[in-house]
Structure 1
């Protein structure tokens, strides 16, 4: 009799799971059904029925696992069309910011960031004739990078670094257009929920701040403050780190909001201790990755990566002698190339071990 009931239970569960209304059922119902099958299989039947009950329990488990995979896709398909459009738009903005970080890194590696000595909100005029290129090159020659570092640069070499910086700036403007134009349209159509409206306003503010911070950073490398014989014209490491940090914040918030629209999560009624610990670990990893990236900006801003080229030791020592050469001591963490590289190594290793 119990075997018959169990068979009916499996059949009923299978029909429920394959019903379109299953999308609306909670995970608690599925879990209860699964546990019910396991409990019945383990305790409800006599010993001589173990093979049958085990088979039935496995069958029920397979039904649940197969159906669970499709439920997520079906639930996504039931999202409102406008919500999916907004989600894909935010995901696209996130991807564009990610590409901007890569392009900015290439611009930094090719030392192209100071090639454009002017900044206009809607874009600089593109040189199209030889005379215009010469005029642009002459403007560049008035600033410290050319006078101290690139005295022998030719016009063709200048064109290369100019195009690199131009591409980076234009990509940033494209991000702004890709955000503000659709945001205005979606807002007017009422596609944003109240919570998302606040985020959109925050996104717009951060994008505007990022553009201004980019020029503020470049401006620090154009000032006539490189007087020492060993001074190399470069942007402020503080402003470079701020520029990169804003990019990471934008990327993270865009991606988080996109996933929130496309894969809305259900808030659990009760969170287990294991889940709480895992969440804390995930946040710790995220924070360490962010700090490691920011410390990398200080390494790039000071060219600190060129100081020591051995690993894991630095000049055959675990702790270099000049790690606290500056006074006061706090300056070493942001201005001493040795300390900055040491911190970056330590943070990178710690992040890898934690992950």
Structure 2
């Protein structure tokens, strides 16, 4: 039987996967800008194929605007918006969805070509299929998120935003790991090192902090308590508790911001200890030490950027930069975790 395996590595496949990861990062950037500009509900229908074509005439624009005027966000927040203003928010959301379609296309077409040319290492086939499914699921979750803001709400449900962003970051991390595998080939030996577990634990903590940040974003909680290190002069905000457990942890603005702050302090401390210990380790190679140091520095920069963004009341530029830095931090942690497992 003919094998799919020409070689255990493929630099072409790796470059393709890094390119897809870059597009996913671009989606995160545009998605963050879409949220910060309040544009995410401007397209009220989900048309995976025909939706790629924007309105081409004034009558089409009027039809889109009429649909938008029927949802609570327009009626409660944007009543009186002009068609020109609507076009401004529409293009943000349309661009975000177009990038999603582009990611799917850039993944699927080269995947088929590489399969035909038998350039994909067999050990990566199932993983790549899983990444394609994860990307499709991300699109479905994106619409599920938008749908939550079309009836009885003026914004999307924060927990759905958290799932949507979490899937994007999970996809980004998995693409980076798989690209590194394709670039380097199969490991000659997997090291039974405690640093592998430590790297994954740190990566998991970074990912958890990203999820908490999504709840802050979804609740617009960065627009309140804009002092630091206290919250309106108190460590524990007076309006922390909601009417129950889930309303508190997912919907209380004070609670989600406090949780994000506390985990930021924990993550910063862990990252410093992690970086110092890795640099002093006689077990790790120099490139692993440099990656560990990069993770530590990235966490520190991200923490500082978060404080500045909060105190500036989340301007669009800083808000997007904070999200991009979170993605960079996660990717560095993934790269470290991958590297320390290999000889």
TM-score, normalization by structure 2: 0.73
Is the 1:220–1:236 Cα contact (8 Å) retained in structure 2? yes
Tell me: higher relative CO, structure 1 or 2? Use CA pairs within 8 A at least 6 residues apart.
2
Q: Say yes or no: does 1:99 pair with 2:26.
A: yes
Q: Say yes or no: does 1:116 pair with 2:37.
A: no
Measured on the aligned residues, the alpha-carbon RMSD in Å equals 1.9
Kindly state the Cα deviation for residue 188 of structure 1 after the two structures are TM-superposed: 2.7
Please list, as runs of the form range in 1=range in 2, the aligned pairs for 1:27-176 lying within 5 A after superposition.
Answer: 83-124=10-51, 125-176=53-104
Note the alpha carbon deviations across 1:299-324, whole angstroms, 9 max, x for none.
Answer: 1111111221111111211112222x
Is the 2:121–2:182 Cα contact (8 Å) retained in structure 1? no
Instruction: Tell me which structure has the larger Cα radius of gyration.
Output: 1
Local SS of the residue matching 1:191: coil
Is the 2:231–2:237 Cα contact (8 Å) retained in structure 1? yes
Aligned twin of 2:123: 195
Change (3 A) 1:329 1:81: closer
Q: Which runs of 5+ in 2 are unaligned?
A: 1-5, 272-343
Aligned twin of 1:306: 223
Residues in 1 aligned to 2:202 and 2:191: alpha-carbon distance in whole angstroms: 24
Residues in 1 aligned to 2:100 and 2:245: alpha-carbon distance in whole angstroms: 37
Q: 2:146 aligns with which of 211, 218, 239?
A: 218
Residues in 2 aligned to 1:265 and 1:193: alpha-carbon distance in whole angstroms: 9
Note the alpha carbon deviations across 1:82-114, whole angstroms, 9 max, x for none.
Answer: 711111111111111111111100111111000
Residues in 1 aligned to 2:189 and 2:101: alpha-carbon distance in whole angstroms: 41
Note the alpha carbon deviations across 1:218-255, whole angstroms, 9 max, x for none.
Answer: 011001x24xxxxxx01011111111011011101111
Aligned twin of 1:260: 181
Residues in 2 aligned to 1:222 and 1:158: alpha-carbon distance in whole angstroms: 16
Aligned twin of 1:279: 196
Change (3 A) 1:269 1:221: closer
Q: 1:297 aligns with which of 214, 234, 251?
A: 214
Q: Which runs of 5+ in 1 are unaligned?
A: 1-78, 227-232
Kindly state the Cα deviation for residue 267 of structure 1 after the two structures are TM-superposed: 4.5
Residues in 2 aligned to 1:328 and 1:81: alpha-carbon distance in whole angstroms: 53
Q: Say yes or no: does 1:342 pair with 2:270.
A: no
Aligned twin of 1:242: 163
Change (3 A) 1:351 1:144: same
